[in-house]
Amino acid sequence: MKRVGFGVLWTFVLTLVFLILCCVVAGFVSAFTLKGSPAENSSAIDEASAKWALPMFFGSLVAAVGLSACGVLPGTRRRPAIVTGPDVLADSYFPPARPTIVLPIGVPEDPPPQLAALGPPRSVYPPGMLASMSGFTRLATFVMGLVLLIGPAAVVSAAAPGQIPPSLVGPLVIGGFLAGLICLALAFPGTAYTYRVHREALVVSDRKTLRIIPWDQIQALIPYVPLLKDFTVVTRDGQEVPIKGSVRDYHELIYKVFVHVRDRLLPLMIKQAHAGRMVEFGPLGVSGDALRYKGQTVPWEEVTRLMIVTGSGLRHLTVHRRGVLGFWPFIQLNLNTLPNDMLLRELLQHIAPPRLLEPTETRW
């Protein structure tokens, strides 16, 4: 849904840009091709404008839609798969990987035995209003979007000269175009997900399949970035299951998922770190003896300062080490892109030297 929203925004912006470029090109062409009197040139320009206005508009719209759909513009790119590293869940410390149970959606009154064995859910999080729209509502919204997209331009083109005040032509066309794009985006809200939190598993269902994910089979939680990417659950068998922002009580659901995963993963991570094994968080490795970042390992004895800086939606981990270049951070890491970012914070509270955990205004 967020990618669609950015695509609609880019389509609107690029359409205006292409229209401006078309007008500039048309101005240069007319300057070199028109050689008559001012009255004749004005008449020729009005005739050409009436003839080419709609083709230029729809040509710009098609070009903008094509470029927005390519996935090369900010906000429209697909998020690459995130690899958490080979040591993040060492087999000697964590339960063996099992395939995620994926079942086709059947009759609601006759749940599959795997789901029935979990018992009643502790809480249920259904899709939001937009994601749960019926097929008829989507069709009506789509038709309304087409009418708003094309109607104002068609009315302006068909109206007699002077029938519509010039001051209303621009707002009418641009407002209708923008409202039409919004309706078209709302007509395709994406897959409707429902999440059920059970004592032993997270159950995720859409219109076609049902996934049963035991809590001990979740190896990573990928943080969400507003308007850019969803909160994502990564299973031990490599599946990535999104927690959609369109679900009701979204933040409450994320908190409950985190608590269930933390209660199972954190003790095992602490055990692994105290045993001298690195627990991987993307490019960062943490153990009871040292930190490893981009191939460089620094013992805790050489770490002089550790901070988590927050503000304006950004969270950064900054670590300084002893040495000539100690003023320059050894680690500068954006936590918004880091797997298990909240688990990293809690792990550091358990294994980092106490001298680095003193609360101040700049440290946690």
- Residue-wise pLDDT for 265-319, tens only, equals 999 999 999 888 889 888 899 999 999 988 888 899 988 888 887 765 677 888 8
- Amino acid symbol at 30: S
- Residue-wise pLDDT for 17-70, tens only, equals 666 766 666 665 665 565 656 666 566 656 666 666 667 666 666 766 666 666
Question: Helix, strand, coil: what percent of the chain each, to 5?
Answer: 45, 20, 35
User: Alpha-carbon distance 234 to 246, whole Å?
Assistant: 19
Domain ranges of the chain: 1-78, 101-129+191-268, 134-188, 278-356
The pTM is what? Answer: 0.63
Q: Provide the token pair at 207.
A: 């219109």
Residue 84: which of 221, 182, 198 has the closest Cα? Answer: 221
Q: Per residue in 136-156, is it b (16+ CB within 10 Å) or e — as a string?
A: eeeeebeebbeebbbbbbeeb
- 101-129+191-268 to CATH, choices 2.30.29, 1.10.760, 2.60.60, 1.10.3470: 2.30.29
Q: Provide the token pair at 24.
A: 């500039």
Residue 326: which of 299, 305, 351, 349 has the closest Cα? Answer: 305
Cα separation values, 236 from 89, 169, 267, Å: 8, 58, 17
